[in-house]
Structure 1
Amino acid sequence: MNTTLSDRLIGGLLVLVALMVILGEWHLVGNFGPLLPVLMTALTLLMALRVAPGRLAFVAVAVLLTVALILLVDDWRTHAMNGLRTASFIAAFYCALATLRSAAERDGSMRAAGRFLAQQPPGRRYLALTAGGQMFALVLNYGSIALLGALATASAREEPDVEIRNHRTRRMLLAIQRAFVSTLPWSPLSFAVAITTSVVPGTSWGTVLIPGLGTSVLLAGTGWALDTLFKPRLSHPAPPRRTPEGTWALMLPLLVLLLVLGLGITVLELLTGFRIVGIVLVVVPAMAVAWTARQARQGGEPLAARLADFAFRELPGYRSEVILLMMAGYIGTVGAPLLVPVMQSSGFHPETLPTWLVLVSFVWLIPAAGQIGMNPILAISLIAPLIPPASALGVTPSAIVGAITAGWALSGASSPFTATTLLIGSFGNVSARHVGLRWNGLYMIVSLVLLSAWVLVYARLTA
């Protein structure tokens, strides 16, 4: 393992920050005092020295907002610390998810299952990639798009007919992307659930599961319906298809993993009463270590070497994504106390708006903000203080979260600045904006209408 001093420092600081967040979530340590600002400042500085200029812009905005906060807000220390806690939680959550992704990507059974899905015949390929893609997304997060996208394009390249190959590539990639975004509203491992349940009081994973699943069904079902209705017509008869390698039994290891993961999280939540995100921070890395140890016993790299490689090589490799997410959380948190007085002085009072308009606005505004580069974490952190209490709107807190996560998922399908569209575009040899607005244009229009209706129906039924 050849790593630089900078990589080792970044990896060590990320691990240390994650441990601090876990101790705080499990109420083992109450307050880290000045240690957190020191660690987060050092971590941000080290990562900023090795990321693209686009990421540095977020760091610059964070610094400017901090200066404005100090000058304009009396209780600036409290808000700055809240921003650092948000950023540290995001870094810890990302690191936890990365542990499971690291273990899964080195397991041959995962790749065999993905290859089997990509080789399904046209009649059931979209459904197979949607269902299987959701399972992979729970384990690999954004890595599911990278893995399945690579397998799908490799499978498509084996098709000698250019027309069929192009159609197959686009349809498979869209199935993979839509499968991923359909997990965002309900998965306990998604940032959408983790962030929204932390900013909307009175919510937890258990309370938002039903609206999230409803959104997921609509997103996945809409994708399948559009793929079926607008199936491309070939200019010549299609050649016979080859039989996929393997059987559906290849999906069993992934299914077992998800059952163990879900059971472990649910049982610990019931026994401890801790936040689901705090439980995820422990359960997911524990499962990843156990999985890695099993791979080591089967002839893989020794466990200690794998752990060191993950901490000091893999984690620093995610610095571009981590610093973007950290800064989005920090900017939104410290920017909110600066925005609220401006909104109040302008005479705008969200609590006076009709309830239906407030809920539907989340579904539409979050994807719209994504078109100008505003990450959903940033958007939600920024507007959280402006969200009227659920009691004032006459709805349950879960209805508010359901609306926010619906908009979050649509942003993932349409924003040219998200990892989902960037990855899909790279595999399809088109721009991320082409994926979001051309490939997913009709999908977005239909989904916006359906999800707007769904959040209102759910709010009415649970009011």
Structure 2
Amino acid sequence: MTLFQFPPSYSWAGLLPAGVTAFMVAYAYTGLSYFAVAASGLAVVAVAIFSFGVRASRVAFVLIGMALVIWAALTTTDWLAATSTAAQRGAMVMALFTALSVIRSAAMTSPAIVECGRFLARQRPGLRYSALTVGGHLFGLILLYGSISLLGTLATESTAREPDREVRLQRTRRMMIAIQRGFASTLCWSPLGFSMIITVSVVPGASWGAAALPGIVSAVMVLVIGWGLDALYKPRKAALAPASETSQWSEQLRPLLMLLGVVLLGVALLHAVTGVEVIGAVMSLVPVVAVLWIAMQQPPKGQTRLRHISHRSVEFVTRELPSYRGEIVLLFMAGFIGSLGAFLLVPLVQGLGLDLQAVPPWVIVAAMVWVIPMTGQLGMNPILAVSLLVPVLPSPETMGIPPAALVVAITGGWALSGATSPFTASVLLAAALGNVSPQRAGIGWNGVYALVAGSALTLWALTLSIIL
């Protein structure tokens, strides 16, 4: 339920998050504070406008943020600087979401990308889980949770003609689980994901370059565990296998792999050559790649490529971005509340005499794998949980552990939350496509998986804390 109707005349409010992205890119490359201030201001205005068209639960986040500002103003002297920092964190999250939405928009209308997804969904039963979980990972790197929407739609399309209802439900469930787990695994390492970017920004001394390889190992671990559990629990009921795709994998996957290669290698190269942070490289490169990808697509009859790009750009700003207003409000407020809440929480914890430095480092590392999915069951967005909790912890240097170990623990927990929390977009989409409740699609489908994968991730993070 929305509190207010969202007027159509607000369609051009999509210019606000686009402007936030432009200013944050300028700040990333120049370090000039007034770009960050301008981005924060536009982001606050965008949230104020978009709040008139979102559900009451989203408005509640806005009210909580306002309450925290009042609390900070009444109890601290440097509340204005802390509020400005929190707004900048929220603006960064909004800018990243906007940039990634551009390439998601470009990819979702690409016939080659859609055909790639259809190819994966039509594999024979013995290969389908592996194809969809790897495909979910590859698509998730570019489309984020849009990968669940795309692949999930194609998956349900491929099972719709199955006459046996039980077989149809079993296949749909297994296909959705494969896609879910494939997407969740990207959260362990992807430079385009909120998990890695937010975590690196709040863990002192952390960098994506140092955490990427251990994060990839985490992703492989959870993918293999998911595959193993599927093989163990898959139904044994015999059924005639539907016709499967016989095309060459290299031919069908080439468009997706090319897009991934350009984006990931481009981000890494831009980061290495310019020294800009990974988030700055992502925000600046991804929209450019998206525009080029649209330019390569066949324009509608009667339109030139230039006119097609112009039309798509206007549509994105005036229609697509405003349609994401709920996500934009939630993500900005999660970053804002996490940052300002941590500012208020740190002295409160110190005032209570809680000395977290006395807690063994291995306990903290292990706990981060589990705390994030647990808070996800209570409705706490991982951005909020990580931004709120990590600043309270002792720094990795103080604990005597490498920052990458803590990053791996946090992103691993984020991945588990993405597969189990009934409040995350990924689980909500899987539930809608699978025609089950979010609780069923989350902890019901992935409860055992979370326990096994969480145990493996805990051991991996603890091992890294020793060997790195």
Query: Structure 2 length as normaliser, TM-score?
Result: 0.95
RMSD: 1.5
Q: Answer yes or no: is 1:12 the counterpart of 2:15.
A: yes
Quote the offset at 1:358 in angstroms.
0.4
Q: Answer yes or no: is 1:123 the counterpart of 2:129.
A: no
Quote the offset at 1:298 in angstroms.
7.8
Distance 1:230 1:343, change over 3 A: same
Q: Answer yes or no: is 1:375 the counterpart of 2:381.
A: yes
Q: Which runs of 5+ in 2 are unaligned?
A: 1-6
Quote the offset at 1:296 in angstroms.
5.2
The residue number in structure 2 matching 1:269 is: 271
The residue number in structure 2 matching 1:410 is: 416
| Counterparts of 1:232 and 1:33, CA distance in 2 | 54
Q: Answer yes or no: is 1:51 the counterpart of 2:57.
A: no
Query: What letter is aligned with 1:274?
Result: V
Query: What letter is aligned with 1:4?
Result: P
Quote the offset at 1:343 in angstroms.
1.2
**Structure 2 contact 24–36 (Cα < 8 Å) conserved:** no
Quote the offset at 1:284 in angstroms.
0.5
**Structure 1 contact 119–245 (Cα < 8 Å) conserved:** no
* Equivalent runs, 1:294-313 vs 2, <5 Å: 294-295=296-297, 302-313=308-319
Q: Which runs of 5+ in 1 are unaligned?
A: none
The residue number in structure 1 matching 2:243 is: 242
| Counterparts of 2:69 and 2:116, CA distance in 1 | 47
**Structure 1 contact 296–303 (Cα < 8 Å) conserved:** no
**Structure 2 contact 140–183 (Cα < 8 Å) conserved:** yes
| Counterparts of 1:119 and 1:312, CA distance in 2 | 35
* Equivalent runs, 1:274-289 vs 2, <5 Å: 274-289=276-291
> CA offsets per residue over residues 25-62 of structure 1, 9 Å max, x none?
11163324864554233211110000011111101101
**Structure 2 contact 365–406 (Cα < 8 Å) conserved:** yes
| Counterparts of 1:245 and 1:162, CA distance in 2 | 26
**Structure 1 contact 55–320 (Cα < 8 Å) conserved:** yes
> CA offsets per residue over residues 222-257 of structure 1, 9 Å max, x none?
1100000111121xx312431326432111111111
Range moving further from structure 2, 452-461 or 238-247 = 238-247
**Structure 2 contact 44–87 (Cα < 8 Å) conserved:** no
| Counterparts of 2:161 and 2:428, CA distance in 1 | 24
Q: Answer yes or no: is 1:259 the counterpart of 2:265.
A: no
Distance 1:197 1:62, change over 3 A: same
Distance 1:442 1:5, change over 3 A: same
Quote the offset at 1:172 in angstroms.
0.2
The residue number in structure 2 matching 1:137 is: 140
The residue number in structure 1 matching 2:222 is: 219
Query: What letter is aligned with 2:197?
Result: A
Quote the offset at 1:393 in angstroms.
1.4
Q: Answer yes or no: is 1:64 the counterpart of 2:67.
A: yes
SS at match of 2:53: coil
The residue number in structure 1 matching 2:212 is: 209
| Counterparts of 1:34 and 1:379, CA distance in 2 | 25
| Counterparts of 1:42 and 1:285, CA distance in 2 | 23
| Counterparts of 1:458 and 1:41, CA distance in 2 | 40
Q: Answer yes or no: is 1:316 the counterpart of 2:322.
A: yes
Quote the offset at 1:76 in angstroms.
0.4
SS at match of 1:31: helix
The residue number in structure 1 matching 2:112 is: 109
The residue number in structure 1 matching 2:169 is: 166
Query: What letter is aligned with 1:294?
Result: M
Distance 1:75 1:306, change over 3 A: same
**Structure 1 contact 100–288 (Cα < 8 Å) conserved:** yes
